[in-house]
Amino acid sequence: MSSETDLTIADSPEDNRYVVRRAGEPVGFAAYHQVPGRVVFTHTEVHQDIEGQGVGSALVHAALDDVRTKDLAVTPECAFVAAFIREHPEYQDLTQ
């Protein structure tokens, strides 16, 4: 089982994605594109062997926190990101 403490998550703007790494190896990403004032999340993917271990949630949590620090809004075209925001009301203001 993965824990959030062994994960690193960082924006990779040149690739238009937030990347989650475990032990330095990429294990998932949240793809996006930017429009003025907004980040549009289009797809989230985590390696199949670690699905269901909270890695995707940790990734989206960190990505949304980063978007908030940049004072941008979010459009969750990705079903996973949309579900995460529905389940975490503290992020719903980002979709306004």
Summarize pLDDT for 7-45 with one digit per residue, the tens.
Answer: 999 999 999 999 999 999 999 999 999 999 999 999 999
Share of the chain above pLDDT 70, in %: 95
Q: Give the model's pLDDT for residue 96.
A: 85
Going from N- to C-terminal start, the domains of the chain cover 4-95
Q: What's the pTM value of the predicted model, to 2 decimals?
A: 0.92
Whether residue 78 contacts residue 42, with contact meaning beta carbons closer than 8 Å, is answered with yes
Please give the class, per CATH, of domain 4-95. Answer: alpha beta
Find all residues with CB under 8 Å of 92, minimum gap 6, and list them: 85, 86
CA 3 to chain centre: 16
